[in-house]
Amino acid sequence: MSARSPGSLRPAIGRRYPLAEVPDALRDVAAGRAIGKLIITIRDAESGPATGGTGSA
């Protein structure tokens, strides 16, 4: 068995859902339709990426 280098494995992203569609995402998981990781986006694409930070605006 060979060792993997850090960062060599990446999660498989199945689908992205906007925050308003979380109930749909949960239904997909419950029904077994979710393949890979589901991503919940907090901001839309026009607002730019959500960033982590210190909480100050």
The residues that bridge with 17 in the sheet, in sequence order, are 40
Q: What is the pLDDT of residues 19-57, one digit of tens each?
A: 999 999 999 999 999 999 999 999 855 655 554 444 444
Q: What CA–CA distance (Å, rounded) separates 48 from 44? A: 7
pLDDT of amino acid 49: 55
pLDDT of amino acid 41: 95
Q: Supply the pTM of this predicted model.
A: 0.59
Q: Going along the chain, which residue ranges are E strands?
A: 13-18, 37-41
